[in-house]
A and B are shown apart, each in its own frame.
Chain A
């Protein structure tokens, strides 16, 4: 296989991992005001992701770094072109990350309420905007022959991309509800499980429409298979959630997210950022890539370190596998 194809796959895998992992983090953040009826309940919700959210976010930093290293043109055009959405994502991730650490540092209710708002908004904004961004990548954006973005903010806010934003937000909400049901006990677990089923039905409808629209824009045999797989996994996950098989439900939503992201990348390949204007402006895995020498070094680094990272990150989830409930939350 071409090195550029390997790196296209690796970037896809990194974003897939990011959306599966931070997807439920975002879901927990968005559900904080819904499922957390008092401070103790909200603390239970936050503590389901407490030990892992930071490591989950490193998937984004690694995906961004991999894109920079393997496809500098893609990284440069995308990040300068999608300027304001990325700025909003950064601001959201800043207040959200600080909020997790600072929320419990003072006892006042007003202090906690403010950080709760930060967690909610900081989770909602990226959950929508990542969908908007990836839908635009797939749809294509105005690029000139030098691969410079020549559109404005309005070009990014088209109906298809906005539906993409709704889809990711809905998927992460459902995924988050399923995750909470899997990680908590008592009342929160019950309500999260029930909510997951309700949210899931709407999510499935939105996701199917979005995937069908996606395939009508750009498609390949692999993309069709993956899209069908994503829809089936989501339905299977919901069926499991209905009968309170929480582990299977979580597997279902995780696989659904993975296959939905894979659908986008499969439909995109071999392009990485199509131009909606001049075809010469289109960035592909070949014309956006680094030299074979750089890709070869990066491949070795990835081959050696990725399994190590997966092993210790997986181990963390094992260490904190226990469900928690309000009875486990210490007084201060």
Chain B
């Protein structure tokens, strides 16, 4: 069903809404995942060494973390409701399997995260130091754990396992929950996503540190900012390594379980053995053959199979195979979208790593970087891994199309039948407007607090005679 601007239907709008709200939600999630751990590490350093600069950095980056955290929380509720609201037939079809990880995510991870974040924010003077430190770790663990459950749910859509189709109801039913949780796609997507998140968090820590190092050279806090810059840069380097290793394994698994997605990532129209990696391919407008291509021989075979001479199936062959397996119809994703999003993911990620490396080099042996270009590159740095994460999600979700559950349910069959075009348009418009407004507010606040720098820790004069009930709170909204 092809539809253009003048004949939009509820399905198109529901898909756009899912895309926009999910990509938007995932601008905040990586920072929450990564920064919770980095802040916890900074606080642990303070706890271990007693050095005040780590405390300053904990409070400073903690503030940035919380400005971001609020957005992640509120945009997350939309995600859970959206399956039922816009994708009710999908929810009916997979509820027996898909609902469980969502419920467990809330019970096991979200409660932990939200409760201990509250304790951490307001508990500076209420909790013993150790317990307060444990709170940020508990929140960080909750956050990272939540990623596992939601990725296990998503992995079922990519590579359905541990289920059977009930012949009477036509619904998917869970037969092996352990298989769902240990789906090989989930096991590799989890570390890949975490690594991508640390890439974002490390970049932010680096950028803010670098800006202060270069702008306030004589500040008493320069040492703290220098440390932050290096801490962020090393986080980016380690995360990039992890992203590359996990991404490589993920590519091989994708070639096995979703060969069409791999072919679509590459714009590989005909089956090749050995297959070459496309640096740039321009396809014909109808997307059935290539017009121009620049390629590295053997590389795609190696990426996809681990063997430089391995066979990688092409789009046209897979399309023919699926048509005979699932009935007539198109089983090919939109090739320009998958092809370019795959390259943007890799390109933006590597660009981020390159900048982090330059920054590390510029600070070697205690030097202070002075290049204006380096500062400019440093300032755009956090945007790059955010784009890489977004394009990664666009690639993996668009590469699964036309399926909502690969091989089991088409996306167009999952949409809510009872929801009208007007309703879904209202909802899409409302979310887009409110999200755009909040994005501007959030970004300005982040910049404001990033520029303000680390806090002054000189304690306010406290009258020892003051009753505890009269004393100001260490933190208040």
Contact = CB atoms under 8 A, between A and B. Distances in A.
B52 interface: no
A103 B78 contact: no
Contacts of A80: 84-86, 88, 416-419
Contacts, number: 245
Contact of B477 (A86, A104, A106, A298): A104
A37 to B, nearest CB: 18
Q: Which of B88, B94, B175, B472 has the most CB of A within 10 A?
A: B88
Contacts of B86: 80
B73 A54 contact: yes
B22 to A, nearest CB: 15
Given A55-B115, A68-B83, A319-B123, A294 B98 contact: no
Contact of A50 (B69, B110, B476): B476
A46 to B, nearest CB: 5
Interface string A73-89: 10111111101101100
B323 interface: no
A240 to B, nearest CB: 23
A76 B121 CA distance: 36
B119 interface: yes
Contacts of B445: 102, 105-106
A55 B123 CA distance: 15
Interface stretch (B99-107, B256-264, B375-383): B99-107
Nearest to A56: B114
B419 A83 contact: yes
B279 interface: no
A87 B430 contact: yes
A321 to B, nearest CB: 10
A68 B95 contact: yes
A202 interface: no
B118 A55 contact: yes
Contacts of B78: 90, 94
B477 A68 contact: no
A83 B423 contact: yes
A309 interface: yes
Contacts of A316: 115, 118-119
Contacts of A93: 74, 77
B215 interface: no
Nearest to A99: B70
Q: Which of B98, B104, B418 has the most chain A CB atoms closer than 10 A to its own CB?
A: B418
B217 interface: no
Contacts of B472: 327-331
B296 interface: no
Central interface residue in A52, A54, A320, by most chain B CB within 10 Å:
A54
Contacts of B95: 68-69, 71-73, 75-76, 290
B81 interface: yes
Contacts of B123: 51, 319
Interface in B406-442: 416-419, 423, 426-427, 430-431, 434, 438, 441
A97 B73 contact: yes
B397 interface: no
A31 to B, nearest CB: 16
Nearest to B118: A51
B354 interface: no
A68 B96 contact: no
7 A-B pairs with the lowest CB-CB distances in the bound complex, closest first: A72-B95, A79-B84, A69-B99, A65-B103, A68-B99, A101-B70, A80-B88
Interface of B: 66-67, 69-71, 73-78, 80-81, 83-86, 88-89, 91-92, 94-100, 102-108, 110-112, 114-119, 121-123, 126-127, 173-175, 177, 416-419, 423, 426-427, 430-431, 434, 438, 441, 445, 448-449, 469-477
Given A83-B416, A101-B67, 17 more contacts: A47-B473, A50-B476, A51-B119, A58-B106, A58-B115, A62-B110, A72-B96, A73-B95, A75-B84, A80-B85, A94-B434, A291-B174, A293-B174, A301-B103, A313-B111, A327-B472, A328-B473
11 contacts: A52-B118, A64-B80, A68-B95, A71-B95, A78-B84, A81-B418, A87-B426, A150-B418, A294-B96, A294-B97, A320-B122
Interface of A: 43, 46-47, 50-52, 54-55, 57-58, 60-62, 64-73, 75-81, 83-84, 86-87, 90-91, 93-95, 97-98, 100-106, 148-150, 185, 290-291, 293-294, 297-298, 301-302, 305-306, 309, 312-313, 316, 319-320, 322-324, 327-331
